[in-house]
Structure 1
Amino acid sequence: MKVVVIGGTGLIGSKLVEKLSAQGHEAVPAAPSTGVNTLTGDGLAEVLQGASVVVDVSNSPSFADDAVMEFFRTSTTNLLKAEAEAGVTHHVALSVVGTDRLLESGYFRAKQAQEELIKASGIAYSIVHATQFFEFMKGIADSATEGDTVRLAPVMIQPIHSDDVAAAVGRTAVGAPVDGVVEVAGPDAFQLDELIREGLAAENDPRTVVTDPGARYWGAELKETTLLPGPDAHITETRFSAWLAQQK
């Protein structure tokens, strides 16, 4: 099976290409560095020739409200049009648990717009909602930093290892389209401020984490369970503590 991975040179995409190739599939990484640009459409028709499945794990280079909306709307529109012309039968996209609950954030409004375009395309699809990656904890801290202080709300989060995300997306890609959303999450739930505090301490990061119930997450107000998956989520095995120990 030929599977084209949009964003196939990034963190998740490169792992996904490796896993699918090991299973005997023709996994083709597609990114600007390989001559494929979803924003301009360059290279799309050529790379999609003979593809059965397209997996989109790309991300916007900018999280600014207008830029991220432009990225997801334009790239998704171009990609779906090219897929329809090439006869692709399954579109898989990676998105985020809680996207529809985080629409105060420009980033999540853009992800929601991406999902709506996919659902309206007429192409059979599967959307994988993952919780935040272990590797993204520093990014969360950076987004909430003012000076030497990191302000985070005491809400729950259930992070996941990027390897497990890639495996879940891979399973979805080679399976039948679900025409809906599949959720995937790590095995343990943490209080967000405590998790980031632990992660920064492990890296000897001198920043102080302050628990602030009013702190926003990428611009969005959080409730206790906003970032948690639902009861039907697939729960993976890799624990944050084990991953953290391997980083030393």
Structure 2
Amino acid sequence: MKVVVIGGTGLIGSKVVARLGEHGHEAVAASPNTGVNTLTGEGLAEVLQGAQVVVDVSNSPSFADEDVMEFFRTSTTNLLKAEADAGVTHHVALSVVGTDRLQGSGYFRAKQVQEDLIKDSGIPYSIVHATQFFEFAKGLADGMTEGDTVHLPDAKIQPMVSDDVAAAVGRTSAGAPANGVVEVAGPDVFQLEEFIRMGLSATNDPRGIVTDPKATYWGAELQESTLLPGPGAHIAETRFADWLAQQQ
């Protein structure tokens, strides 16, 4: 089966390509680096020839509200049109657990637009909702740092490693379309403060961490369970503490 992975040279995409290849699929990495640009449409028709499945794990290079909305709206529209022309029978997209609950954030409003376009396209689809990645603990802290202190909302999080995200995306793309959302998450639930503290401590990052009732998550206010998956989520195996130990 030919599977085209949009964003296939990035963190998740490269892992998805490798996993699909190991299972005997013709997995093609598509990105601006390989001559495929979903914003302009360059290379789309050519790379989608003969493809049964398209996996979209691409992301906006800019997280400014207008930029990220333009990216997901334009790239998804172009991609879905090219898929319809090519006869693609399964569109798989990676999104985020809680997207519909995080609409105070420009990024998540753009992700919701992406999901709505997919649902309305008429192409059979699966949307994989993943929780935050282990690898992004520092980046998350950076976005919430004021001076030398990280200000975090009082909420819970159930993060997972990027390898397990890629496994879930690959497994979904090789199966039948869900025509809905598939949720995946890590095995452990943390307070957001605990997750960030563990991540920064592992790299001897000296920043202080506080739970701040005024803090937001990329501009969105959080309830305790906003970032948590529902009861039917697939739970991955890799634990954060074990992963941190391997990094050291």
Q: TM-score, normalised by structure 2?
A: 0.99
Find the residue that maps to 1:154 and give its secondary structure: coil
Residue number in structure 2 paired with 1:198? 198
Moved more, 37-46 or 201-210: 201-210
Alpha-carbon distance between aligned partners in 2 of 1:175 and 1:199, rounded to the nearest angstrom: 34
Structure 1 distance, partners of 2:219, 2:80, is 29
**What is the deviation of 1:206?**
1.2
Query: What is the match of residue 208 of structure 2?
Result: 208
CA distance in 2, matches of 1:236, 1:161: 9
SS of equivalent to 1:214: coil
Describe the superposition over 1:22-62 as per-residue Cα deviations: whole angstroms up to 9, x where unpaired. 00000000000000000000000000000000000000001
Give the match for residue 36 of structure 1: 36
How much has 1:214 moved relative to structure 2? 2.1
Secondary structure of the residue aligned to 1:182 is: strand
Give the Cα–Cα distance (whole angstroms) in 2 for the partners of residues 60 and 107 of structure 1.
9
C-alpha displacement of 1:213: 2.1
TM-score, length basis structure 1: 0.99
How big is each residue's C-alpha offset from its partner over 1:199-220, in whole Å with a ceiling of 9 and x where there is no partner? 1111011111111122100000
Q: 1:104-119 counterparts in 2 under 5 A?
A: 104-119=104-119
In 2, Cα distance between the equivalents of 1:50 and 1:203? 46
- 1:52 is aligned to 52
Q: Structure 2: how far apart are the matches of 1:195 and 1:185?
A: 14
Is the Cα–Cα contact under 8 Å of residues 154 and 222 in structure 2 kept in the other structure?
A: no
SS at match of 1:183: strand
1:6 aligns with 2:30: no
Partner of 2:241: 241
Listed as ranges, the gaps of 5+ residues in structure 2 are none
Report the equivalent of 1:94. 94
SS of the equivalent of 1:45 reads helix
Q: Which residue of 2 aligns with 1:67?
A: 67
Identity across matched positions, percent: 79
| Separation in 2, partners of 1:127, 1:159 | 18
Distance in 2, Cα, partners of 1:198 & 1:137: 9
Q: Deviations over 1:94-149 (max 9, x none)?
A: 00000000000000000000000000000000000000010111111011011111
| Matches for 1:90-239 after TM superposition, within 5 Å | 90-239=90-239
Counterpart amino acid of 1:163? Answer: D
Give the aligned CA root-mean-square deviation in angstroms. 0.5
Stretches of structure 1 that go unaligned for 5 or more consecutive residues are none
Q: Which amino acid aligns with 2:123?
A: I
Find the aligned partners of 1:45 and 1:98 in 2 and give their Cα distance. Answer: 33
Query: Which whole-Å CA distance do the structure 2 matches of 1:100 and 1:135 have between them?
Result: 23
Distance in 1 (alpha carbons) for counterparts of 2:99 and 2:208: 28
Count of aligned residue pairs for this structure pair: 248
| Distance in 2 separating the partners of 1:145 and 1:203 | 16
SS, match of residue 220 in structure 1: coil
Cα distance in 2 for residues equivalent to 1:69 and 1:160: 26
